[in-house]
Amino acid sequence: MYIATMVYEFKADCFADGVRAWEEEVFLEAKGREGLQRMELCTHEPKMFAIGHWRSPEDAQAFMATGVFARLTQRIEAMLTHRPEPDMWQDSLLFEAE
């Protein structure tokens, strides 16, 4: 499994709009994408942490190549304290309760 993450930090009074923008621009676009196994957004105002679990790096890169994050960044750029940077991870250990 391949995991792509992004941390966003919002200016005061922009958090709710940023979460809504992420849902509309990324989450809805990601549903049904080839290779996507799980997508989640964790929040702790003023930050949000986006996590995408992909079958392979190529699947994640294909989604990113759609321009979805460029559109999101354009929409929320003025709301952010700084430009977010993506990070990539390999799944090394996993536990899931039954």
pLDDT in tens, 33-46: 999 999 999 999 99
Q: What is the pLDDT of residues 25-34, one digit of tens each?
A: 999 999 999 9
Total Cβ atoms within 10 A of residue 56: 12
C-alpha to C-alpha distance for 70 and 66, rounded to whole angstroms: 9
Query: Alpha-carbon distance 9 to 24, whole Å?
Result: 18
Q: Order of strands across the sheet with 86-90?
A: 36-44, 47-54, 2-9, 86-90
